[in-house]
A = this chain, B = another copy of it.
Amino acid sequence: MNNKQKPYRLYLTEDQMPKQYYNLRADMKELPEPMLNPVTKKEVTVEDLLPIFCKELAKQELDNKTRYIDIPSEIREMYRIYRPSPLIRAYNLEKYLDTPAKIYYKFEGNNTSGSHKLNSAIAQVYYAKQEGIKHLTTETGAGQWGTALSEACSYFNIPLSVYMVKSSYEQKPFRKDIMRTFGADVIPSPSNTTEVGRKILKEHPNTTGSLGCAISEAVEKAVTTPNSKYVLGSVLNQVLLHQSIIGLECETAFKILDEYPDIIIGCAGGGSNLGGLIAPFMRDKIKGTHNPRIIAVEPASCPSLTRGKYTYDYCDTGKMTPIAKMYTLGCDFIPSANHAGGLRYHGMSPIISKLYYDGYMEAVSTIQTDVFKAAILFAQKETIFPAPESSHAIKVAIDEALKCKETGEEKTILFGLTGTGYFDMTAYSSYLDNTMSDYIPTDEELEKSFPNII
């Protein structure tokens, strides 16, 4: 495609949409360490996972070999409601920055749930439905995953119980109500609907809840409800697998453009967006056919890659899930108030962790006032209103573009714009009103929660 034909937003046709997920583990030179059973401390098996996950998802979780996994037509059917998502050239931002760099972003916020989470929600709900599951449970903090899952459950007609941390339930009534619009039963946690909830309420009647408690309730609800499973929106291998659709679409789009990104940037909470975005490019890097820089961006308030330890830890604060080797701040780490709620996870996807450990990628952290400054510049120039999570990637993309301005290099930058910020107006308001503060944990604070599991 010559420059004159290149569009502002590149939409693939439906025919060009991926028909298979790409499993990066099949091409990794060294695999992530295996997950361990939290009781026996032995490598988990598919059977170990079946009380939590449906069969196909348990299989995907542990499958390190199958390079491509067919996307069932029913999943592709729902994908085509909002996919392919556009790859957009940030012409206006480039012009404003006066940079020779080309900045592209893959925009995953153009669906009602407002984020990339929907890509995996659809897959997880579909496989559960296929196996005769009649009910799903999950927990939600920031609310993006809960919203995406509500949408998918509504589409496939499966009842959903969402345990929402009580403080979020009360402070984010709109998030709650958009899930209710999609038919989900949203329960403030702790609640009277579970044993663990009743116990906590009895001991601490005025508690506003925690993510750990919400997970415990969601898991109990799944285990005690016939034909019910619990589902998760990040960290897991299966989630990164589903999110590979983001990277695969980017790969096709860059082939059409006859370009290749020199720098790939994604925000990193649990790693689901980042792992999906980079998958095919990381494959090229591992194989040595290309050598892009790949950068994970995390909040300075929750710096698992940049200041965490690479060790075995629980994936959840409730210590009920398998333990995984990953960069972690310790499953007891309580991140300070950070408006990018989706990036407040104590650990990091084992796949991303391993790739980072092996030197295939870089990581940087950034303070939130810098992130919102970048978000507002981006909104004004590109007229998309970004989620605070995504804005971490924007911040670093701008930094890299400005470096190109200094050196005169015409690098091609790609970043993942994971979602929109319509439900994060409170954070924007506090930035606009100059009442937002930054927080960086001290080494002593981090030391307190570093884990010592194995």
Contact = CB atoms under 8 A, between A and B. Distances in A.
Interface stretch (A3-11, A255-263, A408-416): A3-11
Interface of A is mostly: helix
A369 to B, nearest CB: 15
Contact of A80 (B9, B174, B182, B428): B9
A434 interface: no
Contacts of A422: 422-423
B384 A112 contact: yes
Interface in A149-179: 151, 154-155, 173-174, 177-178
A425 interface: yes
A111 B383 contact: yes
Interface in A404-454: 420, 422-423, 425, 428-429, 432
A1 interface: no
A384 B110 CA distance: 10
Contacts of A334: none
A380 interface: yes
Nearest to A180: B432
A407 to B, nearest CB: 28
Contacts of A178: 385, 425, 428
Contacts of A174: 425, 429
A368 B201 CA distance: 39
A110 B110 contact: yes
A81 interface: yes
A404 B92 CA distance: 47
Contact of A383 (B9, B112, B385): B112
A327 B433 CA distance: 43
Interface string A1-32: 00000011101011000000000000000000
Of A8, A82, A379, A385, chain B has the most CB atoms within 10 Å of the CB of: A385
Count of chain copies: 2
Interface string A104-124: 000000111100000000000
A385 B111 CA distance: 9
A420 B178 CA distance: 12
A192 B284 CA distance: 62
B11 A11 contact: yes
B110 A181 contact: no
Nearest to A429: B177
B182 A380 contact: yes
Contacts of A9: 80-81
Of A181, A183, A423, A428, chain B has the most CB atoms within 10 Å of the CB of: A181
Interface in A199-250: none
B177 A80 contact: no
Contacts of A400: none
10 contacts: A92-B155, A111-B383, A112-B379, A112-B420, A151-B383, A177-B425, A177-B428, A178-B425, A178-B428, A181-B379
The 4 closest A-B pairs by CB, nearest first: A174-B425, A422-B422, A112-B385, A154-B380
Interface of A: 7-9, 11, 13-14, 78, 80-82, 92, 110-113, 151, 154-155, 173-174, 177-178, 180-183, 376, 379-385, 420, 422-423, 425, 428-429, 432
